[in-house]
Structure 1
């Protein structure tokens, strides 16, 4: 299956969407409504609870008795009502990470309350189109102090449709941000997988959108592989990805290749595939990579590959560097629910 193909269907009885690029699973979205109370991107009215001294944040009471943890504490007081957004997944018994920096995302735009400014996606390079979209954005957002990001999917789209989309997101943002009266409540639910696929995978335009069986298109086989720690790498090497309570441990091995360049080749292959593996597996937090042994002079080449691999990732990632023991540390934002927990849930 060549090209960029979006598959809309179900996986283990849940609504799911898969993005295949040249026959390889590139992204996967699964409905989490039966597993967690609040999915990432849900917007809630919450009530500030007690401050956690030494932890740099406060707990927030959320709908249905859930708890959120908010790091933006300046100017907040216990009992204050806030509108916050869930920013990532949470393990059982832990608070949901939330933020006061709201993002109202649609297919063509992102409205950003509290972050003024008009921005056109850098992927739109035609100056005439950029000027037209800039004028459209200014006209649609006139009188608002909210920020706006015009997304790359706007290139080639109908201007009337874009204007209606921006106006709709603006109206929603204005209504939600002033809804501060009352007990904790879910104000805007997270998008379903099919909605998110339509919104997030519009650019580049898919070669085909398929409604059907995930197994028929190889998605089920790919998911089964993702639930295993071993990842086969090009060139005969492999890496093991094993989450623990404290961190995610990754071990890179050369396999049967005993040539002088085997370690560097395996390490580069692991670095290139690591962002995709973490995204599909829904893994984040602290990561420690035990790369295959190689001379220190090759570290600069490997670091360049890592930076390039993570450059286009939506999840914020910090490449911390090498430890005294020769491991490589990085931190990735937990922006999804772990795939294994979804597949294990009844």
Structure 2
């Protein structure tokens, strides 16, 4: 099926949302397992004592949970503190926290400790940028001095009323949370669920299917089942294997039946283009080690260009570290969601 489809449904009773582009699964979000704490959740916590050697302090959260905060300047043990979940905690470790709060919606992000009015760089029309700047200035009039605003790329297709209403809602929520900084540990703002996150973060689709059975109708279930396995077919008969260890993610690229001199480079470029999508859909991050198919060292520059272009389009926080002495390629990627296998 050509075009884009957002399907809203459930997996095993868990809320889920899928984005299909031209019949291919492009993104999927599934609710966390019971007890999981999603990134963007905002807590009022209680500061613990600094931990020598770790450069931060533990923070007591509600329900007996603990987080770890690095920005401790000016905070003392026992102080209440407003924090936001900055990422996913590895099993048995404290939840990573930050004091840099973000209040995010489809059109606006309110930033309490980052003053200034900013507009997405993806909006390039000068007249539109000027109009949005005026709108933002008006909507944020009277806000606290250190409260900033970012207008997201979705503003390019929205009317002024929708943008203004979005800003007002996020500003009101931010002001309410900032005024609620004293007291016992508590959850103040829950993270967006998959259906809300799909509306907030994905482009407006050609088709929105939120009726029961939408995953079956748009072949989402079949695509997810393929992601639960290690084998990933590539063009020309090549393939890669995606395996997860306790230390890092390993990728092994193979040329398959192709025995031509350029087989290794072709398989590697195909793998580089597909890799960001596979990591995103599988919910994998941390250290990633890639064993590319054999190819001449002079071809590495072409392969590196393909990797940079692919991850630039992906837009996630990724550091391309480079080649190891043994000829493998390393990168690190922010853990911004729970692994798909763990959710399902």
Structure 2 equivalent of residue 2 of structure 1: 2
C-alpha displacement of 1:314: 4.1
Q: How does 1:1-346 map to 2 (within 5 A)?
A: 1-32=1-32, 34-144=33-143, 145-201=146-202, 203=203, 205-212=204-211, 213=213, 214-343=215-344
C-alpha displacement of 1:50: 3.0
C-alpha displacement of 1:183: 1.5
Spell out, residue by residue over 1:98-137, the C-alpha distance to the aligned partner (whole angstroms, 9 max, x if none).
1111111101111111111111112222221111110000
Asked whether the equivalents of residues 247 and 285 of structure 1 are also in contact (C-alpha less than 8 Å), the reply is yes
C-alpha displacement of 1:221: 0.8
Distance in 1 of aligned mates of 2:72 and 2:237: 49
C-alpha displacement of 1:22: 0.5
Distance in 1 of aligned mates of 2:54 and 2:68: 10
Distance in 2 of aligned mates of 1:314 and 1:146: 26
Distance in 2 of aligned mates of 1:234 and 1:165: 43
Q: In structure 1, the residue corresponding to 2:198 is in which secondary structure? A: helix
C-alpha displacement of 1:39: 1.1
Distance in 2 of aligned mates of 1:15 and 1:52: 38
User: What TM-score results when the alignment is normalised by the length of structure 2?
Assistant: 0.95
Distance in 2 of aligned mates of 1:51 and 1:258: 58
Distance in 1 of aligned mates of 2:73 and 2:177: 21
Unaligned runs of 5+ in 2: none
Spell out, residue by residue over 1:182-209, the C-alpha distance to the aligned partner (whole angstroms, 9 max, x if none).
11111100111111111111x3x31110
User: What TM-score results when the alignment is normalised by the length of structure 1?
Assistant: 0.95
Distance in 2 of aligned mates of 1:236 and 1:57: 49
Counterparts in 2 of 1:187 and 1:252: CA distance versus 1, 3 Å: same
Counterparts in 2 of 1:313 and 1:54: CA distance versus 1, 3 Å: farther
Distance in 2 of aligned mates of 1:68 and 1:105: 22
